[in-house]
Structures are given as C-alpha cells and as structure tokens.
Structure 1
Amino acid sequence: MITIQRAADRYSADYGWLKSSFSFSFADYYDPSNLQFGPMRVLNDDWIASGEGFGMHPHREMEIITIVLRGVLEHKDSLGNRAETTWGGIQRMSAGTGITHSEYNTSETEPLELLQMWFLPGERGLNPSYETTAFNTAGLTDKWVPVASSAPVAGEVAEIHQDMTVYLSEPAAGKPITFAQTAGRKVFLMVLEGDIRINGDTVLSRRDAARIEEMPELTVISDDGARIMLIDLP
C-alpha cells in the first residue's frame, strides 16, 4: 500500500524569515489523521533567511535528525555543544530527559534550507546527547547510503535511539535501484530533488512523499536523475 503526500498538499507557514512546510501535524497545524507514521512524528521542510533562526528552546523525549540541504546551520545547546552542519553532514540530537538548544543561519547573504525530523525514542529517560556525522556526497550514486541508524553500520553514521535507518540516494538517470522491505515494517520515501517512479507506475516529484506498507520490494527509477531519502521504520 502506498499513500502519497504531494508537496503542494502539505500545510505551509510563512513567517517572513522562516518558510516551512509540515508533513505531519505541528504547531498551528493539527490533523488527527496525520499525527505520525510509525515512530516518525515530525518532518519540517524549512527555509530560513540569512542571519535568522530559532533562539534557545527546550525539547524532551524525542530523537531529532537534521539534514541541511543548502547553507550552513549553527547549533548551540545546554550541554555545551557548538557545531556547524552543511550538505554532507547529519545532525542528531537525543533530547532525552531534557535539552535546550538554538539553531541559526549565520550567513549574512545566503538562505538556509533543511529538513528536520522528529522520531519517538525507543526508550524514554535517556541522557540527552548531540552529535554531527559526515557522509560522502559523491558516494550516493545508485545505492542506499545509511546516514542515521540504530543498527551498527560501517562508516560514520549518526546513532539514533529507535529501531530505524535513514538512507540517502542519488539514482542516476535510467538506472533502477531496489529496496527490500521487511515484513511488518514501514517505509517513508521523499524526493528531495528530481522525479522518480516507484515500481513502474507511481510518480513522485520534488518534495513529494510516499508512506509505504506491505510492499516487499520497491524499485525506484528516475528518467533524469534524482536525490531521495528513504526511512525504514517499525
């Protein structure tokens, strides 16, 4: 079963310095039929103007993954961490029993574009923690590259405290890539750039997403090349 969410159908908010599209209920947007998908609770597609951002604010009991698509994100938190993340890096924050942090676009000229995702943790009461990891952007071609996971993975992968894995991929034009879905698990698929077809007939364009259940194998192909994110969830 594939449930499609078109990019244009997402709830969008424009605060001037921040433009955001919500894939799930968040802030002023509430839809009781769109609260979560498995443990996936939030996916915000954010555009942040130069010199702007979120001041210090708290989180609890949530696993937060941020993928920067363009620009540089500056993070500071109550644990004393300070870091910058850009495309090719992953930011993971486990809020656990409580953490306060800020996120800013420190550029004076360039906007910041990012995806921020929240997941319910597999265990409550964890000590809060933060990390940044890096992946090889040139290595995304024609394969699923894990960038955050609870499972041991070769290479530097952000460790998320939930039974799931976030993959990125850039399928080349005309070359199919497949993903085997384990029985009883879910897949969330989003097109970051380009257009794709799933199993030959379901067409997704830029920022369209699919929530997929009970399909043992997915085949993704792009006529002109694409960049996509796939999340394997319980």
Structure 2
Amino acid sequence: MEIIPAIDLKNGCAVRLYKGDMNSAKIYSNEPSELAKAFEDLGASYLHIVDLDGAIAGEAISFNVVEKIAKSTKLKIEIGGGIRNEERIKDYLNAGAKRVILGSVALKDPEFTKQMASKYEVVVGIDVNNGMVAVEGWVEVSKVKGSELAKLYANAGVSAIITTDISKDGTLSGVNAELTDEIARASGIATIASGGVRDISDIERILEFPSIAGVIVGKAYYEGTLDLKTAFKMTK
C-alpha cells in the first residue's frame, strides 16, 4: 500500500483547502519544490500534485512549478488539474511527471480518456460529493454515481483511480475507506483513497482493505497530526 504525500498548488504556493473551497486556502509553503524534497527525504516514492488554479481554468496554470519539482527530486509525480487534451498530457510527461490525472474529462469524455489510457499512464480521478461525481474544480456536481463512473473504466487500461470524498477533504475527520473499497470493487482497478486522513489510525484502517492500493496524505502532515516517517515504515 502506497502512501502518497500531496501538494495542492494555488498562486504558486502549496496550500490546503477545506472541503474543496478555494476561499479556504491555507498556505503551507511558498516554495513547493523544497516541500517536495522534504517528502522525498522522509521516504516518499510518489508525489500527488493538483493544480487548483488549473482545475478551475482548464489550463496548466502551475506548469512551471510542477516542472521545477520534477527536476529537483526523483519522486514519481502524478499531476492533475485542468488537463483536458493530449497536448497537455504530453507536456507534463515531457516535463518529468510519471502519470497524469484525468478528472473532469473522465466524466465528460470517457472515450477520449480511454484512448489516452491506452497510450499513456493515466489515473482517473473520481471526486465524490454525497455519492455523486463532482468536476470542474468541484464546483459542478453531476448526476453520476462514483461507482457507476468507476465501472465504466474497468478493463480500460487505466493505471489507477483516485477517489476523493469531498466532504472529508481537508477536514482531518478520518478517511472514507468504505467509499474507496466500493470504487475499487466496481472497477477492478488499483484505487487510492483521498480526503480526511487524520493520523496513524487512518493508515491502519486503510490497511484493513486489501482492495485499496494507496492513500493520499495532505493536511495531516502539514498540521502535524500524522508522522509520515512512521507511516512509511508501516507500509514498506
């Protein structure tokens, strides 16, 4: 089970949001590349990056920041936020990212997403608000259930699925392992939990579900409620 530290980018800074509210952004670092290096030193193999500005704009607003992180570490970077076309996918992979996350487009254009998954390392982001998939930086909630979207990508060549419970994201209220397990079972794809991780008990909880391939850790590290070094030792 992979523990993946997270860096959310807004105006070039590493921030965390509360339940996806852009106005709630709290800055934790003005130099995200230094933060990424710290994660690497603690034992991380992967790094989860979200371009929050890009997710809203549909553009790679934080491209230069992501490129700098890729050049300054050996971390396997997964990047999401505003990736809507093949050109952008190629740009990020050429800049040093390991894989790209398709969220909004995964809901709105499944055929394109499957086509990209056949050519590149693609992660599908399924962000859920009260059971329904939310897109466009979480400002738009669809009428599609998370598990229904997950089923759509079974056997489609997708590298992984990241499932975020928006109601828990940035709240330190505990991870929704059941939701992640549901998505994993519906898709048969390696599925990563995101949102709500608070402390080491959440890591222990995730380990109880063989279907869950990983967990993303953000605010718990920034606020000091989770010792990442200890967490890495539990899963190596």
Question: Per the shorter chain, which TM-score range?
Answer: 0.3 to 0.5
TM-score, normalising length: structure 1: 0.38
Higher helix share: 2
Q: Which of structures 1 and 2 has the bigger CA Rg?
A: 1
